[in-house]
Amino acid sequence: MAEKITPRNVDYSQWYIDIVLKAKLADYSPVKGCMVIRPRGFAIWERIQAEMDRRFKETGHENAYFPLLIPMSFLKKEAEHVEGFAPELAVVTHGGGEELEEPYCIRPTSETIIWAMYKNWIQSWRDLPLLYNQWCNVLRWEKRTRLFLRTTEFLWQEGHTAHETEAEAVEETLRMLEVYRSTIEEHLCIPVLAGLKSDAEKFAGAVRTYSIEAMMQDKKALQAGTSHFLGQNFAKAFDVQFQTRDGKLDHVWATSWGTSTRLVGAVIMTHSDDKGLVLPPSLSPEEVVIVPIFKNDNKAAVFACADGIKGALKSSGRRVTLDTDDQNSPGWKFAEWEMRGVPLRIELGPRDMEAGNVVMVRRDTSEKITVRAGEVPAKASELLAAIQANLLARARAYRDANTRDIADYEGMKAFFGPAGEEAAGIGEAKGGYARALWCGSRECEAMLKAETKATLRCMPLDDQEAVHGSCALCGQTARHRAIFARSY
Amino acid sequence: MAEKITPRNVDYSQWYIDIVLKAKLADYSPVKGCMVIRPRGFAIWERIQAEMDRRFKETGHENAYFPLLIPMSFLKKEAEHVEGFAPELAVVTHGGGEELEEPYCIRPTSETIIWAMYKNWIQSWRDLPLLYNQWCNVLRWEKRTRLFLRTTEFLWQEGHTAHETEAEAVEETLRMLEVYRSTIEEHLCIPVLAGLKSDAEKFAGAVRTYSIEAMMQDKKALQAGTSHFLGQNFAKAFDVQFQTRDGKLDHVWATSWGTSTRLVGAVIMTHSDDKGLVLPPSLSPEEVVIVPIFKNDNKAAVFACADGIKGALKSSGRRVTLDTDDQNSPGWKFAEWEMRGVPLRIELGPRDMEAGNVVMVRRDTSEKITVRAGEVPAKASELLAAIQANLLARARAYRDANTRDIADYEGMKAFFGPAGEEAAGIGEAKGGYARALWCGSRECEAMLKAETKATLRCMPLDDQEAVHGSCALCGQTARHRAIFARSY
């Protein structure tokens, strides 16, 4: 058997770390707060990236690349922005053997350097919209880090768009939120709520921030992507004006939106189990692994048969690998491939072979299905689609089962329990999503956070009807319906 | 007419800058020595990247991601390596509002951080080979920069592999050199020489460096990629040992290899002309542009016909765009699309339309071909293949015409002319590739460089037979045949 991992019921955090390290997705690095993404982890990111990029291009966006370094003075041009990011900056003070006249920071996000360039490129309404995206690394100095979920350096994409009108910019903000929602649900099998952030939680420099929020197995929320309506804030800070259709001058309207390698962590945490990683077929480096079961006297025959099945699967477009290891037992190999999260395993032994059968095993349900060898490609295709659908449905059912309507503050406190007393394992974890009315005041958010660590995750866009009644926190007149949860 | 660019015969450097800026491939940034890659430039890089990445994976390599920051002490572990890179480093001294105990540099290349990790991952011959590649940004502080060709920050890929034996590592070094050669010739249409670098020109930390060298239109060489055999240097510096098949301990053998966004500059400089950018169809964001010629009374009919042709081209798998601009004259638009380097232009006016014809214009030769509307997809496919082949053949003919066998130092001096007297335009540019015998001494290289600025570009792998005679520089016994040239 492969080395065991900590069960979720004992310590969910350690279970997560065990999977990341033992499935060789990432590793700690000698650089404080930074990790190394190993090939199996990077392959998941590449598959997320490819699908996102396809959808960005489909919606008219182009990729570009802006400098890693940003003059410190640029960051200061937008007051809220610098206040939000200053504590997290890495600063370059020396270059080429000399002290720099003006220090640079490593980009924590690129609004400022991009809007400094947009000033050169935008003169008239004919130059608009600019729909640019950038795939890159960013740095935010973090005190407490967690592999994939929060690291000082991370990989992400940041979209930065410029528009003629407020309405167009708002439309773009919501369009990209929907691109995130659909990609993450369909491709990553993670159900998310799309909604508006409160002012307390919005991006430094934004007018409004929208996010998509996922629920992990310990019932905590994870912010999986954000889309910001920036108004004219950055256009004003960098003096980007354009000639309008009726010959006037106006500041440009802006959006920005981002998702990151954090999504890899969300995938792991949402789907995996005590045997290891569980991956949606859409993201797995291999969709199918074939494990031959053999002894010395039948090895050649079993492998010949396995090779034939591999060929048939490849021809049908499947990503498939054949385990040729002859050092370990079948049981060890089964456990190892379960640890790595391959969605479908094919077991092939001499008795199956003689009967013209193989055994297929689903990673998500452990169900074993005996299939005629000739029907493997068709059955694999059917089962992979079923796994993809099941992972989303299962995660959605879990989230819904852990969402409660809460009417008052006593209910909130009972639902979350006090701050600092969270269980390590998921079995005894309290909380989840508290769906509740809210008056809109920052004080209510602060009070709940202090007492329970729960924060306002978002005000779901599709759940703002019939907001009548009183705030679940202070009892004043409610203005919104919000989701409260502890979060990563 | 679109704004004109400086002709190559007047000032080749300015011509290059004009194209980069006016075709909107890149722009200067407010960060010293760093550029912004604009969408049309980035689209070329993405197409180079996709093809390279496909070939890396085909040869068994996997992508990973290592930290941007490297502890300064790591760089010092390999003596030649730190000596080579120390003058070019950007140094991070502050993070999260505090001065760091140990400063980090921003990676100029990643051997050191990667070998620090390989130490954790390699114990036995069973862990080998590791065939990893990374797509990322690197920083090398540069005093004199040039868009795409030499910038402080650039994008690149760096392969880092670990092997059991010297022979395997050497084989890998040459395999990747060949992947570079074939990709750059077939996909970028740039003919290159693949050869060994002299010790004076090798990578800091390598045992041997191989490069591929291209010739630009001003007859200067441009190093388009390098592949290094690192021996056991980094394994020893980072103490990476493994248990061999016969139970002993040995240091791991290594290679590294890289290509960068510099290739975009090489493509521009190799193929373009006084009308602007010329791109191989394989790299152009659009393969075909349709420019309708219309007046108010026939606009709808012409556009309907143009739309039909666009649809037919799309269905046949072509990347095609329709110019819908109604502000500028057809002549202006033709010049604009020539500036942008689109390989094939289709002109469609009312008279053509009535006759059932279109006019197709090749960007590389300006040849005009009248084609029946129904035959456009087939003809486009044929012409694009012809353009791809012609660009490589044309560049190869130019290089061969500017390669001379040189026997002695007087010949060298006459071929290159004195340092500091190079012509600005290409018409009067001296030099090219001097193919000459060389004794192997560093002094000979230094002498030639001081007097003519020409350096030893490489010793071509396929041109080392019948090395008999005397060094073209000092007259001593020759040991190699080498290519000397001025370079970027």
Q: Which of B32, B117, B147 to mutate to test the interface with A (most CBs of A within 10 A)?
A: B32
CA distance A64 to chain B (A): 5
Q: Which two tokens stand for residue A463?
A: 């759940």
Count Cα neighbours of A351 within 13 Å in the Cβ-side half-sphere. 2
Q: What is the arithmetic mean of pLDDT over B215-235?
A: 98
In the prediction, which pLDDT does B78 show? 86
Q: Do A36 and B66 touch (CB under 8 A)?
A: yes
C-alpha span between B221 and B34 (Å, rounded): 23
CA distance B220 to chain A (A): 27
Count Cα neighbours of A333 within 13 Å in the Cβ-side half-sphere. 20
Q: Which residues of A touch B101 (CB under 8 A)?
A: none
C-alpha span between A135 and A153 (Å, rounded): 14
Beta carbons of B257 and B266 less than 8 angstroms apart: no
Question: Chain B window 121-180: which residues touch A at a Cβ cutoff of 8 Å?
Answer: 121, 132, 136-137, 139, 141-143, 152-153, 155
ipTM summary value = 0.97
Three-state SS string over A203-229 comes to CCCCCEEEEEEEECCCCCEEEEEEEEE
Residue of B nearest to A131 (CA): B39
Please tell me whether the peptide bond between A418 and the residue prior to it is cis, using omega within 30 degrees of 0: no
In the prediction, which pLDDT does A1 show? 45
Q: Between B65, B94, B139, which is nearest A91 by CB?
A: B94
Residue environment code for B138-151, b if the CB has 16+ CB neighbours within 10 A, otherwise e: bbbbbeebbbbbbb
In the prediction, which pLDDT does B79 show? 85
Tokens 């556009």, located at residue: B303
DSSP bridge partners of A485: A455
| Those residues with Cβ within 8 angstroms of residue A58's Cβ, 6 or more apart along the chain or in another chain | none
Above pLDDT 90, what percent of chain B? 94
Tokens 């290592």, located at residue: B66
C-alpha span between A276 and A22 (Å, rounded): 9
Question: Chain A window 63-122: which residues touch B at a Cβ cutoff of 8 Å?
Answer: 63-71, 74, 86-97, 104, 106, 113, 116-117, 120-121
CA distance B431 to chain A (A): 32
C-alpha span between B274 and B247 (Å, rounded): 64
Say if residue B1's pLDDT is above 50: no
Beta carbons of B372 and B309 less than 8 angstroms apart: no
Q: Between β-strands A288-292 and A320-322, what pairing exists: parallel, antiparallel or unpaired?
A: parallel
Q: Which two tokens stand for residue B49?
A: 């990247």
Q: Is the dihedral of CA B232, B235, B238, B239 positive or negative?
A: negative
Say if residue B158's pLDDT is above 50: yes
C-alpha span between A373 and A370 (Å, rounded): 9
CA distance B316 to chain A (A): 19
Q: Do B39 and A63 touch (CB under 8 A)?
A: yes
Q: Which two tokens stand for residue A208?
A: 């409004």
In the prediction, which pLDDT does A2 show? 53
**pLDDT means over runs of 10, chain A (488 residues):** 82 98 97 97 98 98 98 91 91 95 96 97 98 98 95 98 98 98 98 98 95 98 98 97 97 98 98 98 98 94 96 98 94 96 96 94 98 97 98 98 97 93 89 97 97 97 95 97 97
Q: Between β-strands B153-163 and B193-196, what pairing exists: parallel, antiparallel or unpaired?
A: unpaired
DSSP bridge partners of B484: B434, B456
Residue A134's H or E segment, with its range, is strand A130-139
Q: Do B95 and A116 touch (CB under 8 A)?
A: no
Size of interface A-B (CB pairs under 8 A): 158
| B320-325: Cβ within 8 A, 24+ apart | B320/B286, B320/B287, B320/B288, B320/B289, B320/B290, B321/B286, B321/B288, B321/B289, B321/B290, B322/B289, B322/B290, B322/B292, B323/B289, B323/B290, B323/B291, B323/B292
pLDDT, averaged across chain B:
96
Q: Between B36, B117, B136, which is nearest A36 by CB?
A: B117
Amino acid identity of residue A106, one-letter, is I
Q: Do B67 and A34 touch (CB under 8 A)?
A: yes
Counting beta carbons within 10 angstroms of the beta carbon of residue A329, is it exposed (0 to 12), middle (13 to 18) or buried (19 or more)? exposed
Which of B52, B7, B43, B3 lies closest to B25, judged by CA? B43
| Domains of chain A, start order | 12-271 (3.30.930.10), 288-386 (3.40.50.800), 403-485 (3.30.110.30)
C-alpha span between A34 and A379 (Å, rounded): 42
C-alpha span between B261 and A308 (Å, rounded): 42
Q: Do B68 and A34 touch (CB under 8 A)?
A: yes
C-alpha span between A474 and A439 (Å, rounded): 8
Amino acid identity of residue B383, one-letter, is L
C-alpha span between B369 and B352 (Å, rounded): 12
Question: Chain A window 270-309: which residues touch B at a Cβ cutoff of 8 Å?
Answer: none
Beta carbons of B395 and B190 less than 8 angstroms apart: yes
- Helices B39-58 and B166-186: crossing angle in degrees, nearest 10, is 140
Residue of A nearest to B38 (CA): A64
Q: Which residues of A touch B86 (CB under 8 A)?
A: 97
Any alpha helices (H) in B229-375, and if so which ranges? 233-237, 262-271, 299-315, 330-340, 350-355
Residue B84's H or E segment, with its range, is helix B79-85
- Helices B376-401 and B262-271: crossing angle in degrees, nearest 10, is 90
